[in-house]
């Protein structure tokens, strides 16, 4: 019965979405207030009914209702409760229901928190949101119904892919979707603005918090996926330029550009038409990512279904959404009037540079991801595009970007003095160059990459710290005064600085772990010892254990430093029941400055085991940095000006200059 | 619907699923490494540039598929025989084709791939500089309509104290 309720709720949601796509739009065209506000009710209704469907599906998983085909294929009665719940989105159908849930949630959020948006724009945006919802609900109902029954009912399910039975991966999809799908709101606002034929500075102001929220969640979702890859895949890598990773990275890159161009649109009334284009492109890339992952064009652990019919359906959604949006843009954008004038060297100029580099970086990733498919489809043979290509094209784009990121917050709007800004940062620049020189001098292998990466990281972190220190007049004013200034700092400025510094932390982590990884691969017998980066690792032995739904060979390693045992590590090789699928669980000891990473391999039949020992310096910084980027976004989101509800009058004069460092 | 000839890749993709079932295990086995640390470092570098042909998206350095192991041994054999890095890669390339190279060769098929983004960057940069340097006539300020003025009051009421 629950499955039928869920199915029925999905149908009701689709009907509500149909109404939501038409009625508020018609209302906005006729300036009919009641029709426009009906959109809010429909958006809420759509969310409620998708939520009912989602809960029904979750119930089927939790109660192990093996009369539902999806539960049979992806669950098992012996699975821990957590993975019964996360198994809901650990498969194609369920993950698309989650997609619809998050989409309708964002639509409802526009209805709930959009009271400061002009009614016409809001009604149109809600209508566009309804169209996207309708398309994806139809996709679920017509090609991917998660509530299909199976008869006769099997005694037990086939279980969830063991790789997905992991806390990191369990929460990776919801976070990623909050990001991906969150950009649907900026897309809807862009389309609504084009339909309305009018974009003013307030458009940027309404769009920014949505872009910020989506960007923050996407950052966290990508980071979680990469962290999972790091600890689960078993050799200490964290980013592989895999097509599915790229699929989530492209919207992030363009979304980052959107985040920055929307600032210019709001503050300076410029770059409006460009911001609209970025909003369209960001969500288009999210849709493209969904297509690439869901259609089976690319295959990986993310691809649950390789069904051409589904691929074709998403391709059709993609074509209508992207094609329609771009046509509308081509038609309407020329009528948008440009705003404030500025010189190339100015804060506007720096933000444009960010936009340019981010967009070109996304283009590079797009080319690298799709090129092998295109070349093959054109019958020109098979080529591979792998990490060497991405490293060769990405790093030259990011290096000037990071240089600009350090100095940009010191540039005023309209016209800036670049030399003056550098002059204020000469201490930081000196420290960064000295660090780079020291690294280049000390290190013999890969010294250029190491010097460049760490120099840039130091520059970025230093410049961010310097900016805050200047704003709060640290050491130049009494501590109380500094503290008061820190508390009064606009949250969006503080969030920006935190996120920029965090990006520097990520760069340091990527560089150091890439350049200075130590690796020992050998066969060890119980009692053997190996030295890795100042640690001695003793192998105490292996025993078989049975835990829950898997069997494991568990290794026991004793880590000592200077002859003193400091830790014990227990890497495992697991075989999950009932699929009999093997997984590798690395054991990691982290000091936050470096990870000691131990992987147990296969026995050699002569009493020894293949063992891999890695020392990864600064690798935790990658995820610490990503979390701080997320926090930066959240801090910025709490800015008074983004807060929903009626705007309040500022107590302070509105003339505070950005250059008051 | 089933005859979707744009994507013969589906078959390829399915093949990859089957081929990669022992999901991303790990790389180089004990005993494979060369005694000479310098040669071994070069072999690892080369290994990261060659694709494991039966895997999903892994270099031979990352894969534990038998083919990857064979290729790793082959690379080491060539290096010991005195090949340069370039020679060793060319040797594998000649036998396994373009698909084995994770860094695609630069030829007429891949010009767009290698130079497209850079070209886009420079063209846009030049365009922007040209646009921003060109003196623009200051557009006459239009008087606000009553409705717009009211909206502006509401919006400005919040103050714009963020930089």
Is the confidence at residue A499, as pLDDT, over 90? yes
**Per-domain boundaries in chain A:** 1-162, 166-180+195-364, 390-514, 518-620
Partner-chain contact B155 A492, CB within 8 Å: no
Whether the ω angle into residue A109 lies within 30 degrees of 0, i.e. cis, is no
**Interface-testing mutation among B117, B127, B144, with chain A (most A C-beta atoms within 10 A):** B117
Sign of CA dihedral A250, A255, A258, A263: negative
Check residue A336 and give its pLDDT: 74
**Over the stretch A501-534, which tens digit does the pLDDT of each residue have?**
999 999 999 999 888 888 888 899 999 999 998 8
Partner-chain contact A384 B117, CB within 8 Å: no
**Over the stretch A315-369, which tens digit does the pLDDT of each residue have?**
888 889 999 999 999 888 887 766 667 777 888 888 989 999 999 999 999 999 9
**Over the stretch A459-487, which tens digit does the pLDDT of each residue have?**
999 999 998 888 888 888 888 888 888 88
Check residue A635 and give its pLDDT: 93
Taking CB atoms and an 8 Å cutoff, what residues of chain A touch B149?
Answer: none
CB-nearest to A384 from B30, B62, B99 is B99
**Interface-testing mutation among A383, A398, A412, A489, with chain B (most B C-beta atoms within 10 A):** A383
CA distance A454 to A463: 14
Domain A1-162: assigned CATH number: 1.20.120
How is the beta sheet containing A587-590 ordered, strand by strand? A518-524, A609-617, A594-603, A587-590
**Over the stretch A355-383, which tens digit does the pLDDT of each residue have?**
999 999 999 999 999 898 888 888 888 88
Q: How far is CA A454 from the centre of its chain?
A: 24
CA distance A565 to A544: 24
CA distance A376 to A300: 19
**Over the stretch A77-133, which tens digit does the pLDDT of each residue have?**
888 888 899 889 988 899 999 999 999 999 999 999 888 888 899 999 999 999 999
Phi then psi for residue A76, to 5 deg, are -155, 140
CA distance A43 to A85: 26
* Least confident among A144-153, A483-492, A537-546, A573-582: A573-582
Taking CB atoms and an 8 Å cutoff, what residues of chain A touch B161?
Answer: 490, 650, 652-654, 656
The mean predicted confidence, pLDDT, of chain A is 87
Instruction: List, in order, residues 6 or more apart from A296 with CB less than 8 Å away.
Output: A303, A305, A306, A307, A308, A310, A311, B10, B13
Taking CB atoms and an 8 Å cutoff, what residues of chain A touch B59?
Answer: 386-387
* Strand bridging mode A550-561 / A535-547: antiparallel
* Least confident among A406-410, A521-525, B141-145: B141-145
Phi then psi for residue A118, to 5 deg, are -60, 140
Whether the ω angle into residue A415 lies within 30 degrees of 0, i.e. cis, is no
Instruction: List, in order, residues 6 or more apart from A366 with CB less than 8 Å away.
Output: A246, A250, A285
Q: How far is CA A343 from the centre of its chain?
A: 33
Comparison of pLDDT for A62 and A168, the residue scoring more: A62
Sign of CA dihedral B106, B62, A443, A593: positive
Is the confidence at residue B24, as pLDDT, over 80? no
Partner-chain contact B102 A386, CB within 8 Å: yes
Distance in Å, alpha carbon of B81 to nearest chain A alpha carbon = 24
**Over the stretch A220-263, which tens digit does the pLDDT of each residue have?**
999 999 998 888 876 678 888 888 889 999 999 999 999 999 98
Check residue B1 and give its pLDDT: 36
Distance in Å, alpha carbon of A139 to nearest chain B alpha carbon = 15
Is the confidence at residue B14, as pLDDT, over 70? no
CA distance A610 to A600: 7
* Strand bridging mode A581-585 / A572-576: antiparallel
CA distance A464 to A481: 20
CA distance A609 to A140: 47
Taking CB atoms and an 8 Å cutoff, what residues of chain A touch B158?
Answer: 640-641, 647-650
Burial class (CB in 10 A: 0-12, 13-18, 19+), A166: middle
CA distance B112 to A491: 43
Calculate Rg over the CA atoms of chain B.
Answer: 28
**Over the stretch A47-65, which tens digit does the pLDDT of each residue have?**
999 999 999 999 999 999 9
**Interface-testing mutation among A336, A388, A492, with chain B (most B C-beta atoms within 10 A):** A388
**Contact predicate A39/A107, CB 8 Å:** no
**Over the stretch B1-13, which tens digit does the pLDDT of each residue have?**
334 333 334 333 4
DSSP assignments along A227-278, one per residue:
HHHHHHSSSS------HHHHHHHHHHHHHHHHHHHHHHHHHHS-SHHHHHHH
DSSP assignments along A384-427, one per residue:
---HHHHHHHHHHHHHHHHHHHHHGGGSPSS---HHHHHHHTHH
**Contact predicate B132/A349, CB 8 Å:** yes
Q: What is the mean pLDDT of residues A583-591?
A: 89
């Amino acid at each position: 019965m629950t499955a039928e309720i869920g199915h029925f709720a999905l149908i009701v949601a689709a009907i509500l979405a149909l109404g939501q796509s038409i009625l508020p739009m018609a209302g906005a065209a006729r300036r009919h207030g009641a029709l426009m506000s009906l959109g809010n009710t429909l958006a809420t209704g759509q969310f409620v009914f998708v939520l009912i469907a989602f809960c029904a599906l979750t119930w089927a998983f939790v109660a192990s209702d093996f009369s539902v085909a999806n539960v049979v294929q992806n669950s098992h009665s012996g699975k821990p409760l957590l993975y019964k719940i996360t198994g809901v989105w650990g498969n194609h159908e369920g993950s698309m229901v989650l997609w619809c849930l998050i989409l309708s949630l964002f639509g409802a959020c526009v209805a709930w928190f959009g009271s400061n948006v002009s009614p016409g724009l809001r009604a149109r945006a809600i209508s566009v949101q309804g169209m996207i919802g309708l398309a994806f609900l139809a996709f679920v109902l017509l090609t991917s119904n998660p509530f299909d029954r199976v008869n006769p009912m099997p005694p037990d399910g086939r279980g969830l892919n063991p790789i997905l039975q992991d806390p990191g991966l369990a929460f990776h999809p919801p976070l990623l979707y909050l990001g991906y799908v969150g950009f649907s709101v900026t897309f809807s606002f862009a389309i609504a603005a084009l339909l309305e034929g009018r974009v003013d500075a307030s458009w940027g102001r309404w769009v920014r918090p949505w872009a910020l929220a989506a960007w923050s969640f996407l950052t966290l979702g990508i980071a979680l996926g990469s962290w999972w890859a790091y600890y689960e895949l078993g050799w200490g890598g964290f980013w592989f330029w895999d097509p599915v990773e790229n699929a989530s990275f492209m919207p992030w890159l363009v979304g980052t550009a959107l985040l920055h161009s929307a600032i210019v649109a709001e503050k300076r009334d410029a770059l409006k038409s460009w911001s609209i284009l970025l909003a369209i492109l960001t969500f288009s890339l999210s849709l493209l990512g969904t297509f690439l992952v869901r259609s089976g064009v690319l295959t990986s652990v993310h691809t649950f279904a390789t069904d051409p019919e589904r691929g074709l359906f998403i391709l059709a959604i993609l074509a209508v959404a992207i094609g329609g949006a771009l046509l509308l843009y081509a038609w309407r954008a020329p009528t948008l009037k440009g705003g404030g004038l500025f010189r190339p060297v100015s804060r506007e100029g720096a933000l444009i540079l960010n936009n340019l580099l981010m967009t070109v970086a996304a283009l590079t990733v797009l080319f690298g991801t799709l090129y092998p498919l295109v070349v093959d489809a054109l019958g020109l043979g098979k080529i591979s595009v792998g990490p060497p290509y991405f490293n060769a094209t990405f790093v030259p784009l990011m290096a000037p970007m990071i240089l600009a990121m350090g100095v940009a917050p010191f540039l005023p709007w309209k016209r800036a003095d670049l030399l003056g800004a550098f002059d204020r940062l000469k201490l930081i620049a000196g420290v960064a160059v000295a660090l780079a020189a020291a690294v280049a001098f000390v290190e013999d292998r890969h010294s250029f990459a190491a010097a460049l990466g760490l120099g840039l990281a130091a520059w970025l972190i230093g410049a961010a710290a310097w900016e805050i220190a200047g704003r709060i007049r640290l050491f130049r004013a009494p501590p109380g005064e500094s503290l008061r200034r820190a508390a009064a700092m606009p949250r969006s400025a503080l969030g920006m600085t935190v996120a920029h510094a965090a990006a520097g932390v990520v760069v340091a982590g990527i560089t150091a772990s890439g350049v200075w990884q130590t690796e020992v691969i050998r066969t060890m017998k119980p009692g053997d010892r190996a030295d890795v980066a100042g640690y001695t690792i003793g192998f105490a032995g292996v025993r078989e254990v049975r835990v829950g739904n898997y069997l494991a060979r568990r290794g026991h390693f004793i880590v000592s430093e200077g002859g003193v045992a400091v830790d014990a590590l227990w890497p495992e090789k697991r075989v999950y029941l009932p699929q009999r699928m093997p997984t590798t669980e690395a054991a990691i000891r982290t000091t936050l400055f470096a990870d000691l990473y131990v992987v147990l391999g296969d026995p050699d039949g002569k009493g020894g085991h293949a063992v891999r020992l890695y020392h990864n310096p600064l690798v935790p910084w990658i995820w610490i940095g990503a979390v701080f980027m997320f926090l930066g976004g959240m801090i910025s989101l709490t800015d008074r000006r983004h807060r929903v509800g009626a705007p309040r009058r500022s107590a302070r004069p509105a003339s505070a200059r950005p250059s008051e460092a | 619907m089933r005859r979707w000839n744009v994507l013969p890749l589906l078959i390829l993709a399915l093949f990859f699923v089957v081929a990669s079932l022992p999901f991303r295990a790990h790389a180089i086995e004990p005993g494979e490494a060369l005694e000479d640390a310098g040669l071994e470092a070069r072999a690892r570098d080369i290994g990261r540039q060659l694709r494991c042909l039966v895997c999903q998206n892994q270099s031979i350095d990352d894969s534990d598929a038998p083919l990857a192991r064979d290729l790793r041994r082959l690379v080491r054999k060539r290096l010991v025989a005195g090949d340069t890095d370039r020679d060793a890669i060319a040797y594998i390339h000649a036998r396994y084709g373009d698909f084995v190279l994770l860094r695609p060769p630069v030829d007429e098929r891949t010009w767009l791939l290698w130079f497209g983004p850079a070209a886009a960057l420079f063209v846009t940069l030049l365009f922007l500089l040209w646009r921003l340097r060109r003196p623009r006539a200051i557009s006459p300020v239009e008087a606000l309509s009553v409705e717009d003025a009211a909206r502006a009051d509401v919006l400005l009421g919040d103050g714009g104290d963020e930089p």
